Structure 1
């Protein structure tokens, strides 16, 4: 069936097609509007790296952050390679025997931890403003 025959049989007016086209086009308007908004690069959470209870470093976690790595090496030569990407963190490599910390994967929610027992290393996700876990929305 041709388009002209379909239009005649369905009693569509010439402007009906224009209106349908405009409605379909306007359905993409929210994607354009919200896509143009810039995501603020402010961190509302952070990852705290502690070794044997001593705070070594703090990493800000926020969406849109480029991936980078941080190598922690203790005086005995043991190491953990941390990867920070967007609002999450993980241990990418470690020279410990059990590799549980590497298999743990990404941590991104408030209160989550990654632990490497052989190296006495703990990474904990906390709110940057010091609020309690229960005060935050997931």
Structure 2
């Protein structure tokens, strides 16, 4: 049995084939839309914000392929934190707090990622994106 006989004996009509092909092709539409959105998010600039007691102390620009440098935050009590920025990521290298959880946290680089927190010094480092892509943000 060839294809013409199969089509004649079945309940499939020519427009049914057109509709099926259209539905198959349109099923790939979300893939195209989301891939375009991801390329737009890659263009967003990221910044790491250092806050102590809720007050912004310093803002670090995070750029892929950017420089590597360290910043030492020291308060009047003698507490200090040594922060390292390497391209598009940031981490706490050294601290004189007792538990060292902030040092063990490691690198962060994505907006909305769990921040680096040094609770004994009340210090937080968060990564924020210029396009508002972090969790809980709204763009009107």
> Which TM-score band (shorter chain)?
0.5 to 0.7
Q: 2:96 maps to which residue?
A: 95
Query: What SS does the aligned partner of 2:120 have?
Result: helix
Q: 2:69 maps to which residue?
A: 68
Q: 2:107 maps to which residue?
A: 106
Q: 1:34 maps to which residue?
A: none
Q: Aligned pair 1:123/2:90, yes or no?
A: no
Displacement, 1:111?
Answer: 1.1
Q: 2:12 maps to which residue?
A: none
Q: Distance in 2 between matches of 1:100 and 1:43?
A: 30
Query: What SS does the aligned partner of 2:102 have?
Result: helix
Q: TM-score, normalised by structure 1?
A: 0.64
Q: 2:27 maps to which residue?
A: none
Q: 2:6 maps to which residue?
A: none
Contact 1:43 1:60 in 2 (8 A): no
Q: Distance in 2 between matches of 1:82 and 1:43?
A: 23
Q: Distance in 2 between matches of 1:56 and 1:127?
A: 18
Moved over 4 A (4+): none
Q: 2:79 maps to which residue?
A: 78
Query: What SS does the aligned partner of 1:68 have?
Result: strand
Q: 1:20 maps to which residue?
A: none
Displacement, 1:43?
Answer: 6.7
Q: 1:36 maps to which residue?
A: none
Q: TM-score, normalised by structure 2?
A: 0.63
Show structure 2 runs of 5+ residues with no match: 1-42
Show structure 1 runs of 5+ residues with no match: 1-41
Aligned residues: 93
Q: Distance in 1 between matches of 2:118 and 2:69?
A: 20
